[in-house]
A and B are shown apart, each in its own frame.
Chain A
Amino acid sequence: MNDDDKKLKDQIVFDAHPKLSEEFSRKTLDNIFIKKDLISANNDGTLRLFSFASRFKFILLGCLLLGIFAFQQGHQKFIDEELLNVDTLSMSSFSVL
C-alpha cells in the first residue's frame, strides 16, 4: 500500500463516527433470541425472563401491588372474623352465666 492510500485509509477509519444507540445491543439480542427464535434454547433462560420482566414491568408492578392489597384485605377480614368469634364466645359465656 502506498503512502497516499495509507493516508486516505486513516482519514476514513479515524474520522468521527456516529455512536451506536444504547439500546442497540439489547434490541439485537431480542431480535435474535426472542422475536426470530433463531436460537433453539436460551440455556439459562435468563434472557427471556429479563426481557419479559423489562417489557411488562409496569403491569407486573401493578399485579404485585394488587396482590399485596388483596392479601392485606384478606388478613384484615380474618382478624375481624376472629374478633367477632371471640366476641360471640364471650357473649355466649356471659349468657350462660
Chain B
Amino acid sequence: MLVHKVEAAAFSAALNGDTKSARKLIASLSPKAHALAWRILGESSEAEDIVQAAFIKLFEAKQYDGKAALSTYMHTIVTRLCLDKLRSSANHKLDYGFEYDELFSDDKLTPIESLERKQSDSNVQHAMQFLNARQRAALALWAYHDAGIPEIAKAIGLDVNAAHQLLHRAKINLRKKMEHLGYE
C-alpha cells in the first residue's frame, strides 16, 4: 500500500537523522497512541510516559518494512507496555478495574471529592474503569485502530478465540455499565 511506503520512507528518513520526519511521525502517531494508553491506564501522565517508551522501542527496532501500518506496530507496543506496567504493579491491577484502586488508595477522599473526581472523567472513561485492563485494551484497540481480532490477539498476547471472547465480553460489559450509570 502506498500509505505504508510513505510511512516507511518517513521512518527511514527519521532514522537517518531527519528531525522534520521524526517530528511528523511523532505528531501523527501520538494522539491515538496516547488515547489508547490513557484508556488502559486511566492516567494521562502515565500514558504519556508509555507513549514515549513506545517511540523509543519503535526506533530501537531500526527497521520497518511497510508491510503493515506503522501505527499497528506502535499500538501493539503501547498495549504491551501498558499491560506489563499493570502486571508489575503491586496490586496486580491487570485483572481489576480502577475501582479496585480505591481500596488501596492512601489519600482519604471525602465522598464529595471522590464524586467530583469521577465526574471530571468522561462518561465513557468512568464506565470503562469498571472493566479489567485486558478488556479496556481490546476495546480501545478496536475503537481507535479498527483492529481486527487477530491484531487484538497479537497485541494482548492471547489466541484468536480468546481475543474474540474478550472483545465480545468487553462490549457487553461497557454497554451494561453505561446503561447502569445512566450514560446512554
Chain A residues with CB under 8 Å of chain B are 4-5, 8-9, 11-13, 15-18, 20-21, 24-25, 27-29, 31-33, 36, 38-44, 46-47
Contact = CB atoms under 8 A, between A and B. Distances in A.
A40 B149 CA distance: 37
Interface string B24-68: 001100110011001100001101100110011001101000000
Contacts of B155: none
B10 interface: no
Contacts of B18: 43
B9 interface: no
B19 A42 contact: yes
The interface centre, meaning the residue of A5, A11, A31, A44 with most chain B CB atoms within 10 A of its CB, is: A11
A20 B51 CA distance: 10
Interface stretch (B80-88, B94-102, B118-126): B118-126
A46 B30 CA distance: 23
10 smallest CB-CB distances across A and B, nearest first, come from A18-B44, A12-B143, A43-B17, A15-B124, A42-B17, A38-B59, A16-B122, A15-B122, A41-B17, A9-B143
B60 A36 contact: yes
Contact of A46 (B19, B35, B143): B19
Nearest to A14: B124
A8 B176 CA distance: 12
Given A8-B174, A32-B55, A25 B144 contact: no
A5 B62 CA distance: 37
Contacts of B23: 25, 29
Q: Is the interface of A mostly helix, strand, loop or mixed?
A: helix
B93 interface: no
A20 B122 contact: no
B70 interface: no
A46 B20 CA distance: 11
B31 to A, nearest CB: 7
B165 to A, nearest CB: 16
B140 interface: yes
A8 B171 contact: yes
A49 to B, nearest CB: 11
A53 to B, nearest CB: 15
Contacts of B44: 18
18 contacts: A8-B171, A11-B124, A16-B122, A17-B35, A18-B38, A18-B44, A18-B47, A24-B52, A25-B26, A28-B30, A29-B22, A32-B59, A38-B15, A38-B59, A39-B14, A43-B16, A43-B17, A43-B18
